[in-house]
Amino acid sequence: MQYSISDAAKMAGVSTRTLRHYDEIGLLAPAAVAANGYRWYGRDELRRLQRILLLREMDVPLPEIGAILAGSEDETAALRRHLALVLAERDRLDQIATTINRTIADLEGHRRLPDVDFFRGLHQTRDSLAATLHERFGEEAVRALQHGISCMEGWARSDHDEMATTGDELYGRLSRARRAGVAPASSQALDLVAEHYEAVQAVWPVDPATYYDIGDLIETDVDQRAIVESVDPALPAWLGTAIKHFATHRLGLAP
């Protein structure tokens, strides 16, 4: 039995655009293409799609999936590598969950949390950010960020609380602006982004070009996107666009 691209996409829980993209990059060709351009998928194609989606769930990049399916890379070895990453991420999240529970107990007065434990489990997130910055912006960016973080290490707990509250409030206003239909290139949006820019500058002094790239980072980097999505799933794209407009129109970066 053969299925139309719409039926195959619905069955797999993906979009028809995804199936067309897989065809374009040579990852999954349809069983047949009718004279009218309609794509049709058979059982073999559905089985291949199932393997692709399984590997994507393991965060295996599409080029690597192509190599696995072509037989040029061992699938078991690739899955073992990515399983190790998944397990490491699970352990990190477990540690953060433990820290949150201990913080709740501290706030409710049940048990005082040692000061050092406020940050237990968060260093891996910081390390992940440092690795991303090194890849995107180079060693100088990492040193600048680490300098900003080292300056914050002498802060009192109230200072950290104030910074977190200010950040949460700003992201809340950014989200409300987006939900209200404010255009990311508008003056209202750029005024809000100006506050975001100042907050970034306080920890990591950046030039206009780097701040522009931060907009792209928020849209494309898994960790940074997830942070913003936790406030509003549609906010990363809106904020990324607004940051780029701010860099070009308020900071004078040449388009």
Q: Taking all residues of the chain, what is their mean pLDDT, rounded to a whole number?
A: 80
pLDDT score for 46: 93
pLDDT score for 106: 56
Do the beta carbons of residue 52 and residue 60 sit within 8 Å? Answer: no
Task: Quote the percentage of the chain above a pLDDT of 90.
Answer: 33
pLDDT score for 230: 81
Q: How many residues does the chain have?
A: 255
Candidate ranges 79-83, 127-131, 162-166, 169-173; pick with highest mean pLDDT = 169-173
Query: Which of 23-32, 57-66, 114-123, 224-233 shows the lowest mean pLDDT across its residues?
Result: 114-123
- pLDDT-based confidence at residue 11 (cuts at 50, 70, 90): very high
Question: Has residue 186 got a pLDDT over 80?
Answer: yes
Q: Any residues with CB less than 8 A from the CB of 86 and at least 6 apart, and which?
A: 58, 59
pLDDT score for 94: 76
Do the beta carbons of residue 177 and residue 242 sit within 8 Å? Answer: no
Q: Which fold has domain 3-69?
A: Multidrug-efflux Transporter Regulator; Chain: A; Domain 2 (1.10.1660)
The architecture that CATH gives domain 122-249 is Orthogonal Bundle (1.10)
pLDDT score for 90: 80
Q: Where do the structural domains in the chain lie, given as residue ranges?
A: 3-69, 74-121, 122-249
More confident residue, 88 or 29: 29
Helix (H, G, I), strand (E, B) or coil at 163: helix
pLDDT score for 135: 72
User: CA of 185: how far to CAs of 81, 166, 239, 252, 253, in Å?
Assistant: 42, 23, 10, 14, 15
* Span 51-76, average pLDDT: 81
pLDDT score for 116: 39
Q: CA 195, 200, 202: angle at the middle one, nearest 5?
A: 95
pLDDT tens, 134-185? 676 677 777 776 776 676 666 666 766 677 778 888 988 999 999 999 999 9
pLDDT score for 138: 75
Going by DSSP bridges, is the β-strand pair 3-4/39-41 parallel, antiparallel, or unpaired? antiparallel
pLDDT score for 115: 41
- pLDDT-based confidence at residue 130 (cuts at 50, 70, 90): low
- pLDDT-based confidence at residue 207 (cuts at 50, 70, 90): confident
Question: Has residue 126 got a pLDDT over 70?
Answer: no
